[in-house]
């Protein structure tokens, strides 16, 4: 994780959540932090973004029939 990612997270999340108007959205941390961390880990481990979606689309044709595995 680079310094720019850390600083972007700090300014976007920490500074924004200091304002009372944003507390309602920031308070349920388990609702947004866990999925965001999962997405980040998945993005970093896959060979390219949306690789699993690409593989799923390659298995099915537009007419709904499967291609050969």
Answer yes or no: is 12 within a domain. Answer: yes
pTM: 0.44
Q: How far apart are CA 38 and CA 53, in angstroms?
A: 16
Answer yes or no: is 68 within a domain. Answer: no
The overall average pLDDT reported for the chain is 78
Judge residue 59's burial from the number of C-beta atoms within 10 Å of its C-beta, 0-12 exposed, 13-18 middle, 19 or more buried.
exposed
Across 20-45, average pLDDT: 83
Longest pairwise C-alpha distance within the chain: 56
Residue count of the chain: 69
Across 21-45, average pLDDT: 82
Banded pLDDT at 6 (limits 50, 70, 90):
confident
Helices (H), 1-69: 3-9, 23-26, 29-45, 51-59
Banded pLDDT at 49 (limits 50, 70, 90):
low
Answer yes or no: is 64 within a domain. Answer: no
Q: How far apart are CA 11 and CA 31, in angstroms?
A: 19
Answer yes or no: is 32 within a domain. Answer: yes
């Amino acid at each position: 994780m680079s310094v720019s990612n850390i600083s972007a997270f700090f300014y976007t999340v920490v500074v924004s959540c200091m304002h009372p108007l944003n507390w309602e959205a920031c308070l349920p941390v388990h609702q947004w932090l866990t999925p965001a961390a999962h997405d980040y880990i998945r993005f970093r481990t896959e060979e390219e973004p949306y690789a699993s979606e690409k593989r799923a689309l390659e298995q099915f044709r537009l007419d709904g029939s499967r291609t050969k595995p």
